[in-house]
Every structure is written in C-alpha cells, then in structure tokens.
Structure 1
Amino acid sequence: MEKLKELGHLYVTVYLSNFASSMVMPAITDVTMSAVCPGQDECSLAIYLSGFQQAIIGLGTVVMMPLFGNLSDQYGRKALLTLPMTLSIIPLVILACSRTTSFFYAYYVLRTFTAMICEGSVDCLALAYVADKVLERQRTSEFGILSGVTTAAFVSGTLAARFLSTALTFQVAALVSMIAAVYMRILLKESLPNEENLTQPILKSGQDDHCQDDGDLPLKTKESKKIPSIGDIISLLKSSVTFSQAVVVAFFNSLADGGMQASIMYYLKARFHFSKNQYADLMLLIGIAGMASQLLFMPLLARSVTEEKLLAIGLLGGIAEALLSSVAWSSWVPYATTVLAVVVVFVPPCLRSIASKQVGPDEQGKAQGCISGIISLANIISPLVYSPLTALFLSEDAPFDFPGFSVLCIGFATMIAFVQSVLIRTVPRISSLKIDSNSILA
C-alpha cells in the first residue's frame, strides 16, 4: 500500500509537469510564425529556427541525461528532479507575459538553455523511480501506466489549449508548472532501495563535508562521487547485447520522432493551412488513442505478449503512420492516421522495460540516462537532416513535386528501427542474475 501511495505521488508529479508542457505545444507554432513571419503560412526561417533549437537542446541533453541518471543513483531521484522542474518554469513565464517578437526571442534563448539541461529528465528519472519500486515482471505494465499518465497529461493539456486563448494558455501552463515543483518537493519520497547509502544530499549545504578530510572518507564514498564518463556508457553498452540492440532501436526511432516533430506541423500548415485549433484537435486524438492503449490494452497484452513483440508492433504502426501522412491527399488523412497511435505508444515503455531488465537495481538511473542520452543524440541529428529537407520540399525550389518527402524519409528511419527490433532476443537478465547470486550467498 505504501509503494502504491509513493507511485501515486510520482504519477501526479509527472502528470502536472507534462500537462504544463503539453499545453503550449499546439500554440507554439503559431506564436513562432507570428513573431518571425507574420501573416505567412510558409516560412523557412521558422522551420530552421525550430530545427536549430531542437539540435542544440539535443546536444545538451545527450550529455546531461546520463549525468542526471548516474547522479540520481547516488543522490536520489527526488533531489535530481528538483532542478529540471524548477528551470522549466522560466520560459513559460516569459510567454505568459507577452508574445511579441522581442519576448519570443527571449523565450527562444532561455527555452534553449533550460531545455539543454532538463529536456526529458523528468520522464527519465520517473522511469528509474518506478524501476526502484516494482519487480521486473511488473515493469512493462508499470512503465506502460507511467506512459499512460504522461499521455493523459498530454490529452488534458491539449484539450485545455484548444479552449483557452493563447495568452491564457501560457499563463496557466506557468502556474501548473510551479504547482508541480512544489507538490514534488513536499509529497514525493525518495525511492532508492539503498537509501541509507546515499551520498551527502545534493540540496544540503556542504558544511558537513568540511568536518572530515577526504582521506577519512571510505573508498565506497569516494567512488560514489565520480562523475560518469563516456567510458562508463561504453562499458554499459558492452555489458549486454540486448541492451545494445535496444539502444540502436531507441536511436532510429527517436531519429524518426525528432524528424516528425521538426517537420509535421510546418508540413500540415503549408499543405492544408492548419492552425492552433487543428493542431490541438490532431494532438487530442493522438493522445486519447495513446492513453486508452497504455492504460487499458497494454497492461493486458503485457501478460501474454512479450515486450519484444509489442515493440515490433509499435514500430510497424509508426512506419504506416509516416507513409500515409507523406501522401496525404486531403486534410482528413492526418486525422485518420491518429488511430495508429494505439500501437505506436507501445514503443517507449517496451524499450525502457527491456533496458531496465539488463542492469542491476543500483544502476537503473544509469541505464535510463543512457537511453535518454541516445535519444537526445538522435534529436541533435534529426533536425539537421529533416528541417532543411522539409523546407526544400515545401519551397518552390523543390527538385520534384512531393511536399511530404521528408515525412516519407521519417518512415524509412522507423523501418530501420523495426528491423533491429526483430533481432532482439530475450537473454538472462543481469539484474536477475545478481538477485539469484545474492540469494545463494544468503
């Protein structure tokens, strides 16, 4: 019962945080276009600005995610959650005040800087928190529920944005983001199974550290202060073939997701003149389909279907979605493809569960941080590839008439991820071996 209560507080924290970030998504394209290219439906500068921001954010998070994951293994999940949840408030407050060109560029700079540090870190640390609290056989379902909570926040935030004015959208998002940070600090408890061995709490003053010299510290404490290196990540990748395969799938799937994020809204605006309300409707349908799947269907399927098969099914859905969107012949086609979200949402929780089961209980932050770092690396490369491609094929200088060519290429990236997912085979889990050996020793 106590564990359920703790997970409940985590889910509320994740819900509020994602609700705030989801509210601004349908509005940000129109805000960008109005600030950069007022009165236009096609704007290469806006596409390049969004792509550049996405790449720079990815550059920061590819370093920060493994670092956050490792530090959370030492200092605790709650302490590390505080930084990203606090920093994410600042950009929202700026656009809550005004959305003029000068305020937009201030938002753009601060959003880029803060997201380099905290983009995706709340979800990464939440996954590690859940892995601390549940058994291996329950992780696929529990990760699915966590993804369902995230999707529910996405649905609620998108629905709120659909009926609120642009100004009020950013004001409410900023307020909810503040509430999320306060709620987390007051009610969320630490999750690590070896809490008694935690390093000096990261939010306390270092006064206690001066009471003794480093020479008096135990070797274990000294080692815990080590900042993770590239060598640590490479060692983790080499430790399990299954983990390495999951990383490859994560990379190409995220390459496709990042490409869709960089391209689809501008593609729909140029092709069918979509605006804030149409984006909100589209996101709402995707969110409802995903939420129903993650909260209802996936926990049931996880009992009888392996996570490897669910992963492959989800990637097949992503391929179909990209191919259909690329040749959309009417404005209703993007709405019709949202039904594929029912299976597409299988991908993230299955990937995270596969990775989680390949490491021990004291390495969950490291594993989730590594996966998040690889996803961030894909987010660096993706806009550098797809943003120029989208701008080219939406312009009058396109080499041939195919506005959705960049979306078609996104489907090819998902196809590579699918091929790799088929090769994943279940192997003895490292964490299980550790537990078994401990039991034998006991």
Structure 2
Amino acid sequence: MDSAPNPNSSRHKAAFAFIFVTVMLDMLAFGIIIPVLPHLIVDLIGGSIAKAAVWTSAFGTVYMLMQFVFSPVQGTLSDRFGRRSVILISSFGLGVDFIVMALTPVMWLLFFGRAVSGICSASFSTANAYIADIVPKEKRAAAFGAMGGAFALGFVVGPALGGFLGHISLRLPFWVAAGLSLVNFCYGFFVLPESLPLERRTKRFEWRHANPFGALLLLRRYPQVFAFATVLFLINLAQFSLNSTYVLYTDYRYGWGPQAVGYTLGLVGLCSGLVQAVLVRQLMPKLGERRLIMLGLPLCVVGYLFFGLSSVGWMFLLGIPFLCLGGLAGPPSQALITRQVDPHEQGRLQGALSSLASLAGIFGPAVFANLFALFISDHAPAHLPGIAFVLAALLISAATMLASYAIRHLHPVQPGENPATTHGAELSPVTDIVHHEPLANDQPESFP
C-alpha cells in the first residue's frame, strides 16, 4: 500500500515554485520595459533621439551599478534575518517602483525609479541562496539550471510582451510589470516558507561584509571558490558581447532588420532555457558536475567563433546551438561553489557572485561596443566586424583552462568538515555543511 503523501515535500515544491517565479518575474520585469523605455525617455526630454541615447546608456549603467552595490547587501541581510523577508520586501518594492515609473511626468524620477529597480532586482542573489538552502547538494546543479531556465524564459517573453503592450501605451508595460511583482509578493506572503532556521543565521549584520568589495573577499577565503567565481565572471562578461553588439552586428554584416533580430534572439533565449532547465537535469546524473563544466565551455567557444567569423547569415545561425549548449557549464559551477562554502554564508556568497556579474555588466557593453566600432571603422587595424564575439571566445577559452585547473585541484568536502578551516582560514565552527536540513523543521524528499 502506498504511503500517504509527505506534506513537507509539497511545501518544498511550493517554495521552489515561488523562487522560480520570482526569478522569472524579475527578468520579465527587466525585459518588458526594454522596447518602451527609450521611447518614454524621448517623450520626457522633448523628442531628441541623440539625448535619449545618452540617457538610455546612463539608465543601463545605473541599473547594473545598483545591482553591483546591493547584491551583497541583500545577501548579507538574508544571512542575518532570513531569505523570506528579503525576497518579499524586494518583490513589494519592485511593484511599487514600477507604479512610480508608470506615473512619473519627469525624467529625474524615472531615472531614480530605474535605480530602485536595480536595487530590488538584486534579490536574485537571495533567491540563489534559498536554492542552496533547500536543495540537496547532489541536485543543486539541476536546480540552478532551472533558475537559468527562468531567466531565459523572462528574457524571451519580456521584450515581446513589452513591445505588444507598448503599441497600446508606452506606460502600460510598467503597470503590467507592477501587477506581476505585487501578485508575486502576495503569493509569497501566504506560501513561501523560510529556508534558513534561526540557529544557522549570522549573529549580526556587518557592513564590511555587505559592501561589494568586502563581499568579494569572501571568495578568497575558500579553496577553489575564487577560481570558479572567476569562471562565472568570464562567462557573464562574454555574454555582454551579445547585449552590446548583436543588433548592430547582424544589421551591418547580414542586413537583418528588427524582425529577424527578434526571431533569432527569441530562438537563443528559448534554446538557452531548454538547455539549462531540461538538459542540465538530464545529463547531471550521467556525467556529473565536473564533466558537464568541461563539456559546456568548449561548446560555448565554438558558438562564439561561429558568430564572429561567419560571413553569411545561415552560418551564423549554426552557432546558436553551440552557444546555448555552453549553458551546461554555469549551473554545475554554481553548485560546486555552494558546496565549498558554509551554510550560514550562502547569502554573502550569492551576493558576491551577483556583484561579479553586475561588474561585468558595468564594463562589458562599453568594451565590446567600442571594439565593434573600431574594427568596422576606417582606422581599423583589420576589418573584423565580429571582433566582439572573437574576444568572447577568447574569454571562454581562458575560463575553460581555469576551470580545468580548479577541477583537478578541487578539495572534496566531507560531511562534518568545515571547508575553510581545512585550509587554514579562521572561521567559527559550524555543523555538518553537506547534509543539513533545507527548511526549518522540514526535510524535503526530492527536488521537484
């Protein structure tokens, strides 16, 4: 006779579903205003396209800068006060902020609202810490892959939905984004359990841990963590070659218009979501984290080289599967990192990783866009329109070599072992860092 269903397992599935939806909505809210924000800026400043371009660049910079600064703050707050409260406050704040941006009649308030969006969207780091709390170590790569799928889904749906709504009204996408965030807050308020019990929380909040540079120091306190964090940074930096040059590059080299760009970007997002949400989960039990990393990174190199060196559009399209399969490397890298860091510092860890990703977002677009402009100009040392993608391939090649080195020297963390003190770092002793209860008073049976 079958046993009765475990209510704790249902509670765990509901918690994971909420985190998945939170990440998707954060990305959806980011993407939904991409097609309309520049046009709204044009309206607010009086119709100057040139000035709007400058303001749009400033909006992107301030968004990533706020994420860089506040990701470790939110991570440290979640280590001290729990994940649930930080995530709920961020969701509520994002909803209110979109309402303010929907109503604002002046540029400075819209700019301020975008900065607040960057702060509230920094909850992605807390969401990752929540996953590290509730998912058993052997299933974390699949869980982080599902988070990558949520990210990709929001990226695919957001701009398309924003463009459709923007035809009705430039401010309607902001209202829809606000409604989604507030609905998410209400759902989480009644459903989301706390993942970090009181006994595993830090004793006090310290600003030296919450500032982004102090948080990055955490990465150097654990063996191999700094190396894998650098791998993730290089992956994120390379991805900004797409953000900053994809539209202009495909127009310049292949004559693609907005429709073709939209279709191909949607295909990239869809394939990336399938790889991270489905394929990672299927391959993890067969290959393991280390082989998955060393499979994904070289495939990513091939994809970027196709993008950068293809002289015709159909050859460019051949690079999309390779580039998306490169997404196999990210989730297992995150999983390996979480297993090297103590449970009570998972929030700080994820905040530091998010700050690294934001740092890539601050500098990456300027580097790739200026290289693209240089190598198609009359003063180019060589005519190479795809230089941004070639550089991205070189960055991933460096990440591959670094990951190979880190994997060879990876210290296996045993149950009951503190990874920091094993290598001489001074940390307060903690209990079993591998086999711990994911939810207070709950022991989930499986990852949904």
TM-score class, shorter-chain normalisation, is: 0.7 to 0.9
Aligned-residue RMSD, C-alpha:
3.7
Give the conservation status (yes or no) of the 8 Å contact 1:136–1:357. yes
Superposed displacement of residue 145, structure 1: 1.8
Where do 5+ consecutive residues of structure 2 fail to align? 1-8, 419-430, 436-448
Equivalent in the alignment of 1:117: 119
Q: What is the match of residue 152 of structure 1?
A: 153
Partner of 2:310: helix, strand, or coil?
Answer: coil
Report the counterpart of residue 214 of structure 1 in structure 2.
Answer: none
Letter of the 2:85 counterpart: A
SS of aligned partner of 1:305: helix
- Output the TM-score relative to the length of structure 1: 0.78
Alignment of 1:221-232 (within 5 A): 221=203, 224-229=204-209
Q: Secondary structure at the match of 1:79?
A: helix
Partner amino acid, structure 2, of 1:10: I
Question: Could you give the per-residue CA deviations for residues 13-69 of structure 1, whole angstroms, max 9, x where no partner exists?
Answer: 333332232334466678889999x999xx8994x7666554444443332211211
Residue 402 (structure 2) aligns with: 420
Asked if 1:72 is matched to 2:75, the reply is no
The DSSP-based 3-state class of the residue aligned with 1:183 is: helix
User: What amino acid sits opposite 1:114 in the alignment?
Assistant: V
Query: Any residues of structure 2 matched to 1:319-338 within 5 Å, and which?
Result: 319-338=301-320
Letter in 2 for 1:4: K
May I ask how many residue pairs the two structures share in their alignment? 408
Please say if residues 389 and 406 of structure 1, whose CA atoms lie closer than 8 Å, have aligned partners that are also in contact.
yes
Query: Contact 1:30–1:275 (CA<8 Å) still a contact in 2?
Result: no
Corresponding residue number in structure 2 for 1:305: 287
The verdict on how the C-alpha distance between 1:240 and 1:25 changes in structure 2, with shifts beyond 3 A counting, is same
Whether 1:366 aligns to 2:348 is yes
2:422 corresponds to: none
- Within 2, Cα distance between the matches of 1:299 and 1:59? 33
Q: Deviations over 1:224-248 (max 9, x none)?
A: 1322436853652233221111111
Gap change, CA 1:151 and 1:408, over 3 Å in 2:
same
Q: What pairs up with 1:218-257 in 2 under 5 angstroms?
A: 221=203, 224-229=204-209, 233=215, 236-257=218-239
Residue of 15, 21, 24 corresponding to 2:24: 15
Matched-pair contact (CA < 8 Å) for 2:294–2:403:
yes
Task: Work out whether residues 323 and 407 of structure 1, in 8 Å CA contact, stay in contact via their aligned partners in 2.
Answer: yes
Match of 2:194? 191
Deviation of 1:323 after TM superposition, in Å, equals: 1.6
Task: Find the aligned partners of 1:266 and 1:116 in 2 and give their Cα distance.
Answer: 26
Do the aligned partners of residues 344 and 181 (structure 1) sit closer, same or farther apart at CA in structure 2, a change above 3 Å counting?
farther
153-162 vs 402-411, greater mean Cα deviation: 153-162
Match status 1:62 vs 2:42: no
| Offset, 1:303 | 0.7
- Residues 318 and 414 in structure 1, CA contact (< 8 A), matched pair in contact too: yes
CA shift for structure 1 position 284: 1.5
Which SS does the other structure have where 1:343 is aligned?
helix
User: Structure 1 counterpart of 2:116, which letter?
Assistant: T
On the 8 A contact 1:10/1:188 being kept in 2, the answer is: no
Structure 1 contact 263–390 (Cα < 8 Å) conserved: yes
Q: What SS does structure 2 have at the residue aligned with 1:132?
A: helix
Q: Is the 8 A contact 1:260 1:410 kept in 2?
A: no
User: Deviation at 1:404?
Assistant: 1.9
Range with greater deviation from structure 2 (151-160 or 352-361): 151-160
Question: For each residue in 1:76-121, what CA deviation from the matched residue of structure 2 results, as whole angstroms up to 9, or x when unmatched?
Answer: 22322245435545776688679xxx97x658734652354245x2
Contact 1:23 1:170 in 2 (8 A): no
- Of 297, 307, 310, the residue aligned with 1:315 is 297
Equivalence for 1:127: 128
In the alignment, the residues of structure 2 paired with residue 387 and residue 411 of structure 1 have an alpha-carbon distance, to the nearest angstrom, of 16
For 2:317 and 2:48, the matched residues in 1 are separated by: 25
Checking the alignment, whether the CA contact within 8 Å between 2:79 and 2:346 is kept in structure 1 is: yes
| Match status 1:433 vs 2:413 | no
Contact 2:141 2:284 in 1 (8 A): yes
Q: What residue identity is the alignment partner of 1:135?
A: P
Inter-partner Cα distance in structure 2 for 1:31 and 1:321 = 35
Separation (CA, whole Å) in 2 of partners of 1:268 and 1:323: 15
Distance 1:39 1:232 in 2: 41
Partner of 1:382: 364
Preserved CA contact (<8 Å) 2:28 2:154: yes
Deviates more, 1:368-377 or 1:427-436: 427-436
Give the Cα–Cα distance (whole angstroms) in 1 for the partners of residues 326 and 207 of structure 2. Answer: 35
Find the aligned partners of 1:67 and 1:135 in 2 and give their Cα distance.
26
Change beyond 3 A, Cα 1:225–1:233? closer
Give the share of equivalent positions with the same residue, in percent. 20
Q: Is 1:409 the equivalent of 2:386?
A: no
Aligned-partner residue type, residue 182 of structure 2: A
CA–CA separation in structure 1 for the residues paired with 2:310 and 2:99: 37
For 2:32 and 2:109, locate their aligned partners in 1 and report how far apart those are by CA, in whole Å: 16
d(CA) in 1 for partners of 2:270, 2:190 = 28
For the 8 Å contact 2:343–2:433, the answer to whether it is kept is no
Secondary structure of the residue that 1:72 maps to in structure 2?
Answer: helix
Which residue is equivalent to 2:427? Answer: none
Change in CA separation of 1:6 and 1:169 when aligned onto 2, cut-off 3 Å: farther
**Corresponding residue number in structure 2 for 1:143:** 144
Contact preservation (8 Å) 1:85, 1:180: yes
Structure 1: 5+ residue stretches without partners = 199-219
Residue of structure 1 aligned with 2:13, choices 4, 17, 20 = 4
1:346 lines up with 2:289 in the alignment: no
1:205 aligns to what?
none
